[in-house]
Structure 1
Amino acid sequence: MRIAFLVPCLNEERALARVLADLASFGLPIVVVDDGSEDRTLDIALANHVRVIKHAHRQGKGRAVRSGWEALKAAGFDGLITLDGDGQHRAEDVAVVLEAAQRQPRSLVIGARVKDRQTQPAMRRAANRLADWSVSLAAGQPLPDTQSGLRYYPAAVLNLDGVPADHFVFETATLVEASRRLGTQVTFAPIRARYEPSLRASHFRPVRDLLMIVGYVIGAMLRFGIRRRPDEPPRSPSGGTRRGHAMEPPR
């Protein structure tokens, strides 16, 4: 199975060099998609001798992932692992997701931030809980961290057409469309939640992006209906089940 790393970036000069150094230790190909950055992101990526795809203007994370996958698909890859360039995910987190992907190459694997989740800012945590609960309903299977940027996507999921790619809706839509249209099993690999002062502010905007996600989810429910209970324990990469806190209805 051929897997590559894909790092969609928007103004990530602060942490990108460390992220790329961590990924280099795995010996897998790395693609950086610079989504219209205005800082030194492009220079840092080029200095690290990875493949770089440059968007002249910001197109959003979903389109960045699409651009990277088109290049990797043409080169014969079977899937990719995405992670943000902000330094939130460390080598040990990537290793957990990579191991799960190698065991279950046809599953979509989420690096779920269920360890130390209390470190999340309160507003962000509340928004994520609401998103997790509603997206689980739309997907028809329980999902513990629908907004995590650390994921393994198999080729079948990436090749789905008609998946919205605007802003953060792409990550939600991919989970729902893969679950409902392909019957893809979504598994999760538990990782730490990291919200350190040294990390740049998230590009996620709780009000705007959550409203867009909710709008998509409502439309998906109308198309697909509600098939399974969202509080059913999610499946772990080991083949058992793991209960994620995000499966509880929002309070």
Structure 2
Amino acid sequence: MRVAIIPAHNEAATIGSVVLQTQPYVETVVVVDDGSTDTTARVAELAGAQVLSHDRNRGKGAAIQTGLRAGVKEGADVLVLLDGDGQHDPDSIPDLVEPIERGESDLVIGSRVKQGNGTPPRHRKFGRAVLDTVTNAVSDTAISDTQSGFRAMRAELLKKVEFEDAGMGIESTMLAEATGASARISEVPIEEHYPETASPNQHSVGHALTVLNSLLKIVRRDHPLLVFGVVGVLSLLFGGYLGYDTATHYWATQEFWPGRAMLSMLFSIIGTQLITAALILDTVRLKGNN
């Protein structure tokens, strides 16, 4: 059984047609109205979707989580995710779900390599390239379009992972979490439709910062020895340098620098604490994985 999940925030102009175009390829369409102030929920309902509404705007990730839970309750075997703004072509759904239904993949990403209607601005393309590079480095993948919101997954995957990101970083964190659960991930080419009137709900810079923050949380959680350890060692080295400089200056001139001496002790203490924290957190992580 296929269930489509469509997170939507103020998409009244497009959500109806997206629902209608999606229905032939799935048994149920679930639209999660993420605190819209327009008629998104009403239009989606009239188009035949099952509508779940948030009382306020909680973020795309939260909307996807709500939709995934609803899809599992519906008894879905395959869950399809797509946006409500019309940039994804529902006719590509069979291509997305095919690797899953053949038993070859657990998560399939729709890679926007074919040009449809309209072209995204250059700054958005550049932002995607940056986020693709960072996401692939963090999640240890080689996905060509990590930020694509058009994807399908095996419902069984949700028993192994929880996609907890509530914001726009959900696409990246989903890849990282799926990789951590040893999920089989693949891509299929899709068209990208980018109408000239398209207006993203979040500025591209804000979007990028949100995604990078989400990835940083994953790195901090999964690689504490790297994050805290490196900073701790640098702090300890800097403290040692200040201490050495203070000591040699006093030896040569008999002039004592109290300020630099205090900074040396401060950075040395901070470095020692960070290294200790890194070792403890890494030990906890390793025990949790066993």
Please give the alpha-carbon distance, in whole angstroms, between the structure 1 residues aligned to 2:216 and 2:36.
32
Whether 1:218 aligns to 2:219 is no
Please give the alpha-carbon distance, in whole angstroms, between the structure 1 residues aligned to 2:172 and 2:134.
10
Whether 1:143 aligns to 2:146 is no
Do 2:31 and 2:44's aligned partners in 1 also have CA atoms closer than 8 Å?
A: yes
Equivalent residue, structure 2, for 1:47? 46
- TM (norm. structure 1) is 0.81
- Identity, in percent, stands at 28
Report which stretch shifted further, 157-166 or 72-81.
157-166
Alignment of 1:27-176 (within 5 A): 27-104=26-103, 106-116=105-115, 119-160=119-160, 163-176=163-176
Alignment of 1:235-250 (within 5 A): none
Do 1:108 and 1:154's aligned partners in 2 also have CA atoms closer than 8 Å?
A: yes
Do 1:157 and 1:174's aligned partners in 2 also have CA atoms closer than 8 Å?
A: no
Q: Deviations over 1:197-238 (max 9, x none)?
A: 24x31224322221222223234335446xxxxxxxxxxxxx
- CA separation of 1:57/1:222 partners in 2, compared to 1, >3 Å: closer, same or farther? closer
The SS at the match of 1:25 is: helix
Please give the alpha-carbon distance, in whole angstroms, between the structure 1 residues aligned to 2:103 and 2:138.
23
The SS at the match of 1:32 is: strand
Please give the alpha-carbon distance, in whole angstroms, between the structure 2 residues aligned to 1:174 and 1:157.
11
The SS at the match of 2:17 is: helix
Do 1:62 and 1:168's aligned partners in 2 also have CA atoms closer than 8 Å?
A: yes
Please give the alpha-carbon distance, in whole angstroms, between the structure 2 residues aligned to 1:204 and 1:111.
21
Equivalent residue, structure 1, for 2:205? 207
Q: Which amino acid aligns with 1:114?
A: V
Do 2:110 and 2:187's aligned partners in 1 also have CA atoms closer than 8 Å?
A: yes
Please give the alpha-carbon distance, in whole angstroms, between the structure 1 residues aligned to 2:27 and 2:57.
27
CA drift of 1:93 comes to 2.5
Please give the alpha-carbon distance, in whole angstroms, between the structure 1 residues aligned to 2:210 and 2:26.
37
Gaps spanning 5+ residues in structure 1: where?
226-251
Q: Deviations over 1:8-33 (max 9, x none)?
A: 11011111111111112225211111
Larger-Rg structure: 2
Tell me how many residue pairs correspond in the alignment. Answer: 222
Q: Deviations over 1:84-118 (max 9, x none)?
A: 11111123322321333322464210111012399
Equivalent residue, structure 1, for 2:21? 22
Please give the alpha-carbon distance, in whole angstroms, between the structure 2 residues aligned to 1:8 and 1:147.
15
- CA separation of 1:105/1:206 partners in 2, compared to 1, >3 Å: closer, same or farther? same
- CA separation of 1:94/1:204 partners in 2, compared to 1, >3 Å: closer, same or farther? farther
Do 1:9 and 1:34's aligned partners in 2 also have CA atoms closer than 8 Å?
A: yes
Please give the alpha-carbon distance, in whole angstroms, between the structure 1 residues aligned to 2:26 and 2:176.
32
- CA separation of 1:197/1:186 partners in 2, compared to 1, >3 Å: closer, same or farther? same
- CA separation of 1:123/1:159 partners in 2, compared to 1, >3 Å: closer, same or farther? farther
Equivalent residue, structure 1, for 2:179? 179
The SS at the match of 1:147 is: coil
Please give the alpha-carbon distance, in whole angstroms, between the structure 1 residues aligned to 2:149 and 2:162.
21
Please give the alpha-carbon distance, in whole angstroms, between the structure 2 residues aligned to 1:64 and 1:91.
19
The SS at the match of 2:57 is: coil
Q: CA RMSD in A?
A: 2.1
Please give the alpha-carbon distance, in whole angstroms, between the structure 2 residues aligned to 1:96 and 1:186.
14
Report which stretch shifted further, 96-105 or 182-191.
96-105
Do 1:167 and 1:209's aligned partners in 2 also have CA atoms closer than 8 Å?
A: no
